[in-house]
């Protein structure tokens, strides 16, 4: 099954008051490290090969997760200098030596209870260089930032105006390795949104909807804020 890349190198500044000196991946949620909940979701869909892109307190993630075998996973790592973080897109460029010909990427603070196998299958069927998971949000849970026509994303912007979009990116993207290779020489830090936006502008970004059928609250499904941890505990 496809390789999963988890971006877990961020500073986690919003969590420091409740989990000081702790990377978001191993913040306790419902009695377990957050990344263990992500592993459960992936393993239940048959995805067990994970590449963790780490930076801030990365050694603590390695100490907790190890090779992933005790969680039924096969985990490897790419480390970046926590004093000079590369951005989400830069982290993928940095990971190129270990990235496979196709992969899916998700954030280290995202809890996405979706059918990953279905997303991968539909993404491969589109035969595009990249495919974004999307949810018809209509400005309800967070600011909508995406427009979709058929199976193609035709607009994507984190700075979209109210009413300009009706979909939101769901935090799960399928990439072919060649896309990331094209950014080797780009200045850093590099945001993955830049890569996604470029693909959309060239008409090369597919879209797979329906992921939001089990979405509770996109912000609550992220471990990126103090209230998010409490909300996540309610989901268990």
More confident residue, 220 or 83: 83
C-alpha–C-alpha distance, residues 16 and 222, integer Å: 15
Picking from 212, 205, 135, the residue whose alpha carbon sits closest to that of residue 176 is 205
Q: Mind giving me the DSSP string for 14-62?
A: GGTTTSTT--GGG-EETTEEHHHHHHHHHHHTT--EEEEEE-TTHHHHH
Least trusted range by pLDDT, from 21-25, 88-92, 229-233: 229-233
13-50 pLDDT, tens digit per residue, is: 666 666 678 899 999 998 999 999 999 999 999 999 99
C-alpha–C-alpha distance, residues 43 and 109, integer Å: 17
Between vectors from CA 24 to CA 118 and to CA 71, what angle results, nearest 5°?
A: 55
Dihedral sign for Cα 92, 98, 102, 103, please: negative
Host H or E run for residue 148: strand 146-149
Mean residue pLDDT of the chain comes to 87
pLDDT at res. 215 = 36
List the domains of the chain with CATH numbers: 3-234 (3.90.550.10)
The confidence band for 235, taking pLDDT boundaries of 50, 70 and 90, is: very low
Q: Could you tell me if residue 176 is left (phi over 0), alpha (psi between -120 and 50 degrees) or otherwise beta?
A: beta
C-alpha–C-alpha distance, residues 89 and 81, integer Å: 15
C-alpha–C-alpha distance, residues 184 and 94, integer Å: 9
164-206 pLDDT, tens digit per residue, is: 998 989 899 999 999 999 999 999 999 999 999 999 999 999 9
C-alpha–C-alpha distance, residues 219 and 180, integer Å: 27
Picking from 163, 170, 169, 159, the residue whose alpha carbon sits closest to that of residue 139 is 163
Host H or E run for residue 82: none
């Amino acid at each position: 099954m496809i390789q999963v890349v988890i971006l877990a190198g961020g500073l986690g500044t919003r969590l420091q008051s409740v989990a000081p000196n702790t990377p978001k991946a191993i913040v306790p949620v419902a009695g377990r490290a957050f990344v263990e909940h992500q592993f459960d979701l992936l393993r239940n869909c048959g995805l067990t090969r994970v590449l963790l892109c780490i930076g801030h307190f990365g050694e603590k993630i390695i100490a907790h997760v190890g090779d992933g075998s005790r969680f039924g996973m096969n985990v490897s790592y790419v480390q970046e200098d926590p004093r000079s973080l590369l951005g989400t897109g830069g982290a993928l460029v940095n990971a190129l030596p270990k990235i496979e010909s196709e992969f899916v990427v998700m954030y280290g603070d995202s809890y996405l209870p979706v059918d990953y196998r279905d997303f991968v299958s539909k993404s491969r069927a589109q035969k595009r260089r990249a495919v974004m998971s999307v949810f018809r949000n209509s400005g309800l849970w967070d600011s909508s930032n995406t427009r979709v026509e058929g199976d193609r994303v035709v607009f994507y912007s984190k700075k979209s105006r109210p009413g300009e979009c009706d979909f939101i990116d769901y935090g799960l993207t399928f990439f072919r390795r060649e896309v990331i290779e094209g950014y080797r020489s780009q200045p850093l830090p590099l945001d993955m949104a830049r890569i996604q936006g470029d693909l959309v502008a060239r008409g090369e970004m597919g879209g797979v909807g329906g992921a939001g059928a089990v979405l509770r609250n996109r912000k609550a499904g992220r471990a990126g804020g103090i209230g998010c941890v409490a909300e996540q505990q309610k989901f268990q």
